[in-house]
Amino acid sequence: MKKKLKLFYTIFVIVLLLNCITYVKREKKPTLLRVAIVCDTQCIRIRKASAPEPESILATDGFPRYYRGGVYVNGRKYRGLVVLKKIGGKLWAINVLDIEDYLKGVVPEEIGKISPNLMAAARAQAVAARTYAYAHLNKYQELGFDLYATVQDQVYLGENSEDSLINIAIDQTRGEILCYHNKPIEAKYHSTCGGRTADFNDAWPGTAPPYLRSVKCPYCRKSPHFHWRRVYNKRNFFVQLRERIKNLGIKVPKNQSIRDLRIIRNPRSGRIRRFVLTTQTKYYIIPGYEIRGLLGGKQDPGGLLPSSYIYFKSKDENLIIDGWGYGHGVGMCQYGAREMARRGKNYREILHHYYPGTKIVRIY
Ligand SMILES: [Zn+2]
């Protein structure tokens, strides 16, 4: 009897442990994904494929509503099912479709136009975007969907943005995701690294995954974002800094001014790891990834400086910033991936270069 109890207990513990581990498992078909394509609005224009004109659905109408088979939402066509529902009194549209169809509306937005000699870059982007989606299932569980269709997750614009060549590249990598120790990785990617990718902690706090570490990238020199320059008047520069650090909860007392800015670099990636602002009596240590928000100007999308891969130069009244790359710099450099493809590298070589130590696993 005791033996039986022990066996039962052992099986119970094993089942419990298996439930706690989120290892990837083989699936029969692609997972269904719920993507928020319209958020927080009062009115959505819907046109069924067979209808000549769109109809306006208002937040005051009855919900939920379901639309199947090639429906147009605010002028864009979507595959799969579209659900209109109310969240917090506002109107939302959720597109429910399988991951492979979702990728057809993501990869062209992320990797841009391709020619036949760049197929490897599109395949690499497809695997990275599939991995991202797979790793973030249930990300917004409390709101009832998986991903936003914007840069907050991955830009997804539905059927209108599809490209026949890219659709082939997606099919050729069907079901493939990047894994580290048999778990889907955090597949970060960005436009241009500027010659060397960033370490995870150059861009975010927290525990750095071992595969998101800085690697050399001699491939993105042709990117329009490879090198850029900003010129600030020294006085304005420190006034702007003083104003912007309030957003970080730092208030420099009225009778003090910022006198100096010192940079501590990550020696591996060349990016700013920390910087120190000095006033007459105090100093403030700020994480390097905040510098993009502190120094971004009107011309910068989202008010963020293109990257934190920057060097300062003082010239007379001015402070010159020489910068390299565009984006957070972590993981795959998209311009680099395109150039690697042009030079004949395959998508596996591209992915293993930017995500060292990972494995490509087919899950269906
Ligand atoms: Zn690069």
Q: 239-248, pLDDT tens digit by residue? A: 889 999 999 9
Expressed in angstroms and rounded, the spacing between residue 336 Cα and the centre of ligand 1 is 4
Expressed in angstroms and rounded, the spacing between residue 19 Cα and the centre of ligand 1 is 39
pLDDT of residue 15: 52
Residues 166 and 92 in one domain: yes
Residues 284 and 358 in one domain: no
Expressed in angstroms and rounded, the spacing between residue 333 Cα and the centre of ligand 1 is 5
Q: Identify the domain containing residue 276 by its residue range.
A: 227-324
Could you tell me the pLDDT band of residue 27, with boundaries at 50, 70 and 90?
Answer: confident
Expressed in angstroms and rounded, the spacing between residue 334 Cα and the centre of ligand 1 is 7
pLDDT at residue 190 is higher than 70: yes
Residues 357 and 307 in one domain: no
Does residue 48 form part of some domain? yes
Residues 272 and 150 in one domain: no
| Sequence-ordered alpha helix ranges (H) in the chain | 2-20, 99-104, 107-111, 119-135, 164-172, 200-203, 234-244, 291-295, 334-342, 347-354
In order of 141, 143, 152, 199, 279, the CA distances from 203 in angstroms are 26, 27, 15, 7, 26
Residues 234, 317: contact at Cβ < 8 Å?
Answer: yes
Residues 207 and 99 in one domain: yes
Does residue 137 form part of some domain? yes
Could you tell me the pLDDT band of residue 9, with boundaries at 50, 70 and 90?
Answer: low
pLDDT of residue 302: 87
The pLDDT > 90 percentage for the chain reads 83
Average pLDDT of span 212-236: 96
Residues 318 and 352 in one domain: no
Residues 157 and 251 in one domain: no
Does residue 12 form part of some domain? no
Could you tell me the pLDDT band of residue 18, with boundaries at 50, 70 and 90?
Answer: very low
Could you tell me the pLDDT band of residue 4, with boundaries at 50, 70 and 90?
Answer: low
Does residue 267 form part of some domain? yes
pLDDT at residue 68 is higher than 80: yes
Residues 205 and 309 in one domain: no
Does residue 18 form part of some domain? no
Residues 273 and 216 in one domain: no
Expressed in angstroms and rounded, the spacing between residue 332 Cα and the centre of ligand 1 is 8
pLDDT of residue 20: 43
Residues with CB under 5 A from ligand 1 (ion): 193, 217, 220, 333, 336
Expressed in angstroms and rounded, the spacing between residue 44 Cα and the centre of ligand 1 is 40
pLDDT of residue 25: 72
Does residue 231 form part of some domain? yes
Which DSSP helix (H) or strand (E) runs through 324?
strand 318-324
Residues 210 and 343 in one domain: yes
Residues 244 and 271 in one domain: yes
Expressed in angstroms and rounded, the spacing between residue 307 Cα and the centre of ligand 1 is 12
Domain count, the chain: 2
Rounded distance between C-alpha atoms, residue 72 and residue 37, angstroms: 11
Amino acid at 208: A
pLDDT at residue 22 is higher than 60: no
- Least confident residue range of 16-25, 64-73, 76-85, 274-283: 16-25
